[in-house]
Every structure is written in structure tokens, then in C-alpha cells.
Amino acid sequence: MPEPKGPSPTVDVVIQLPGDRVVLVRRGRPPPGWALPGGFVDAGESLEAAAVREAREETGLAVRLTELLYVYSDPRRDPRGHTVSAVFLGRAEGEPLGSDDAAEAGAFSWQGLPAPLAFDHAEILADARRLLLTGARRRP
């Protein structure tokens, strides 16, 4: 009997750097644009471990996760197929260097984010900023 096909689990990390900056990567593969560091969860891997691994692979940064922001599951969030992403907030030191499937990585002020942003990452970044500034958390 074939296994039912469901959404793929993914993770993303809003990495905060000193100086009130956030880390984004320019995607090296379609869909194009700037994105939060993240990717698919491997079999046998926890969401937290996947988030730390993906952040290191794409930015070279050792990230310390601080909290879970929200779980994003709109079936339209990724044009490649239905994904469910657990998005974490995290902190790191140093400067990001793009690697793995990230063509480039950079640290940006919240007021100077690059465009275009891929997937639903503009919405995620707005939710993260609101939480950081006001403590207001997105509700289901």
C-alpha cells in the first residue's frame, strides 16, 4: 500500500546579529530571491537540529535558537510544493558567508531588507519584527 503524500517538513531561522541586523541568503536555485536560512528536515532529525544545521550550511554561522516564532503551513507558501515550516528566532555572532545552496548571504538592517523576498518570508519577517518590538505574537 503506498504511503499517503503530505506536506514536507521544513525549518527557517530569523538570525539576529548585533547591531539590530537580520541574516538573509540569496537563493542559488529557483525560486529566486532573498530568503531566511532554512531548508528541509532530514529523516531522524529534530526540527531544532535541522534549523541549526541549515543555518550553518547556508551562512557559516553557529546559531543559538532562542524561541519558536510560529509554524507556517499555507499550501501556497512554496511554489515547488506544500511545505510546513517551523520558524525559529536565533542569535549569532560574526558575518554570514553564503554556501551550500545559498549563492550569497548578508546581514541587513530591518529597514533595509533586500528585494525580492522569496516564499512567504516578508510575512515571516514582519511577524518576527512585531514580536521583537512589541511582544505581540501571531495567533492561529
Position 96 in a domain: yes
Peptide bond between residue 116 and the one before it cis (omega within 30 degrees of 0): yes
Q: Which three cell numbers stand for residue 45?
A: 532529525
Whether 9 and 84 have beta carbons less than 8 Å apart is answered as yes
State the Cα torsion 50-67-101-98 to the nearest 10°.
-130
Which amino acid is located at 73 in the chain?
S
**CATH code for position 94:** 3.90.79.10
Cα-trace Rg, the chain: 14
Residue 2 lies in a domain: no
Residue 28 confidence class, pLDDT cut points 50, 70, 90: confident
Q: For the segment 54-111, what is each residue's pLDDT rounded down to a tens digit?
A: 999 999 999 999 999 999 999 999 999 999 999 999 999 999 998 877 789 999 999 9
Q: What are phi and psi of 9, to 5 degrees?
A: -80, 135
In a domain, 46, yes or no: yes
Residue 107 domain flag: yes
pTM for this predicted structure: 0.94
Q: Give dist(CA 41, CA 58) in Å, integer.
A: 14
pLDDT tens digit string along 108-133?
Answer: 999 999 999 999 999 999 999 999 99
- Residue 140 included in any domain: no
- The answer to the question of residue 3 being in a domain is no
Quote the pLDDT of residue 1.
Answer: 60
Domains in the chain: how many in total? 1
Whether 6 has a pLDDT exceeding 80, the answer reads yes
Which three three-digit cell numbers place residue 140?
Answer: 492561529
Residues involved in catalysis: 104
Query: Do the domain assignments include residue 139?
Result: no
Report if residue 48 sits inside a domain. yes
- Candidates 2, 1, 17; CA nearest to 97 is 17
How confident is the model at residue 55, as a pLDDT? 97
